[in-house]
Amino acid sequence: MDSKEKRRGILERLNAGEVVVGDGGYVMQLERRGYVKAGHWTPEAAVEHPEAVRQLHREFLRAGANVIQTFTFYCSEDKLEISGNVTNITGAQINEAACDLAREVANEGDALVAGCVSKTPCYVKSHSETEVKAIFKKQMDDFLKKDIDFFIVEFVDHVEEAVWAVEVLKTSGKPVGATLCISPHGDMHGVPPGQCAVRLVKAGADIVGVNCHLDPLTCVQTVKLMKAGLEKAGLKAHLMIQPLGFHTPERNIGGYTSLPEYPFALETRAITRWDIHKYAREAYNAGIRYIGGCCGFEPYHIRAIAEEVAAERGFLPPASEKHGLWGAALEMHTKPWVRARARREYWENLLPASGRPKCPSMATPADDYEKQLETKIQM
């Protein structure tokens, strides 16, 4: 049996009104597991340590993910070269190995494989459409040698670059999703979310949304603005969201990379599985049907999405066999006060203590975005 023929494509699923659960974040989680170098954030582990990448793919699949993204973040030739982290492995090797790993694990379940491209250093440096498109083309060609189902453009903070990527990837004939890492205040050139969405859809994107940089509820707000923009323009597209798995109440334009805790002290800000339930419901209510996560989303966060939308999907993910819904399995605990936590109200209403009485609760972003923001509000 050819798994490919059997698979229902991403658009078939979304067009049918299904909820598609995305996977979580790779680079940050693999950094913690010892396979990715922070600062570089390149995915050479796909070649060097395939067992580690495979296992993380598997955990996301088991948690309920319908899509396995290729572990190809920052895997454009220009980025790899600048980074200098990988000297004996080519981008093509990584891209191809990553496709194979994603495919192998996706086939262990009912998942699709998305070939992923992200922003290129070339864009900011050269601002040349030709050069940037050539880079995306090269990466696409690597993917097309392998068996992938659709493309995702992600972690791009200038809509113009994302538009270029979409234009390239659409030449493949495969569906394309595009997510910007922007705040409700718009992209790095100040283009508001609604307008960004319009430009992406006009460029051919089938699915649009945001990923990374800001916390789940902020990202839902941004996607809502995108949706409103599309409606105003009389356009239609599927919506997707893969937010940051850390609380960013500062809601600054640059997001978590501007916060003092980035990237090695973000533990404090990590979202809980209960935060995820709220997020998944908000996203669903906003009409978003492709719901996943980015940096900070571990397997149990993806499982929490799948559990929140279990009624809509009609099933629980495999990993829920090791998870009592809303803490139900705590009924087995030896301490009576822990047993008393085996219920939804407890976890929904808990305000978790930071455990750090000498630390603040919000930070000053290390850039001048706050001032920029104030200026915008004053206008």
Judged by beta carbon, residue 6 or residue 335, the one nearer a second copy is: 335
Instruction: For residue 64, give the amino acid letter.
Output: G
According to DSSP, the residues that pair with 179 across neighbouring strands are: 209
Judged by beta carbon, residue 146 or residue 339, the one nearer a second copy is: 339
The verdict on 40 binding a second copy (CB under 8 A) reads yes
With CB under 8 A as the contact rule, the residue among 143, 150, 274, 290 that binds a second copy is 274
Question: Per the annotation, does 116 bind a ligand?
Answer: no
Of 193-252, binders to a second copy (CB under 8 A) are: 215, 221, 224-225, 228, 246-249
What is the DSSP-derived secondary structure letter of residue 8?
P
Question: Per the annotation, does 75 bind a ligand?
Answer: no
Strand segments, DSSP code E, in the chain are 20-21, 67-69, 112-118, 150-156, 176-180, 207-211, 238-242, 290-291
Contact track, a second copy, 63-92, x by CB under 8 A: x------------------xxxx-------
Judged by beta carbon, residue 15 or residue 328, the one nearer a second copy is: 328
Instruction: For residue 336, give the amino acid letter.
Output: P
With CB under 8 A as the contact rule, the residue among 33, 146, 170, 313 that binds a second copy is 33
CA 59, 90, 81, 53: dihedral to nearest 10 degrees?
A: 10
Minimum separation from the CB atom of position 215 to a second copy (A): 8
Separation CA 30–CA 43 (nearest Å):
9
With CB under 8 A as the contact rule, the residue among 81, 141, 338, 344 that binds a second copy is 338
Of 114-143, binders to a second copy (CB under 8 A) are: 121, 124
Are the C-beta atoms of residues 30 and 74 closer than 8 Å to each other?
Answer: no
Cα angle 43-47-52, degrees, rounded to a multiple of 5: 75
- How far are the Cα atoms of 286, 306, 329, 379 from residue 302, in angstroms, in the given order? 19, 6, 19, 40
Q: Per the structure block, which two tokens stand in for 38?
A: 């922070």
Stretch that binds a second copy, among 89-97, 195-203, 231-239, 253-261 (CB under 8 A): 253-261
With CB under 8 A as the contact rule, the residue among 258, 280, 289, 309 that binds a second copy is 258
With CB under 8 A as the contact rule, the residue among 347, 370, 372, 373 that binds a second copy is 347
Minimum separation from the CB atom of position 261 to a second copy (A): 5
| Residue 47, C-beta contacts closer than 8 angstroms, at least 6 positions apart | 89, 93, 94, 97
Judged by beta carbon, residue 133 or residue 323, the one nearer a second copy is: 323
Longest CA–CA separation in the chain, Å = 66
Minimum separation from the CB atom of position 39 to a second copy (A): 4
Judged by beta carbon, residue 84 or residue 314, the one nearer a second copy is: 84
Nearest CA to 226 out of 273, 269, 179 is that of 179
Of 296-325, binders to a second copy (CB under 8 A) are: 298-300, 303, 318-319, 321-324
Of 147-176, binders to a second copy (CB under 8 A) are: none
Question: Per the annotation, does 294 bind a ligand?
Answer: yes
Phi-psi region of 65 (alpha: psi -120 to 50; beta: other; left: phi over 0): beta
The verdict on 192 binding a second copy (CB under 8 A) reads no
How many other CB atoms are there within 10 angstroms of residue 54's CB atom? 18
Judged by beta carbon, residue 176 or residue 259, the one nearer a second copy is: 259
With CB under 8 A as the contact rule, the residue among 6, 234, 236, 264 that binds a second copy is 264
- Measured on CA atoms in the order 121, 222, 63, 352, is the torsion positive or negative? positive
The verdict on 9 binding a second copy (CB under 8 A) reads no
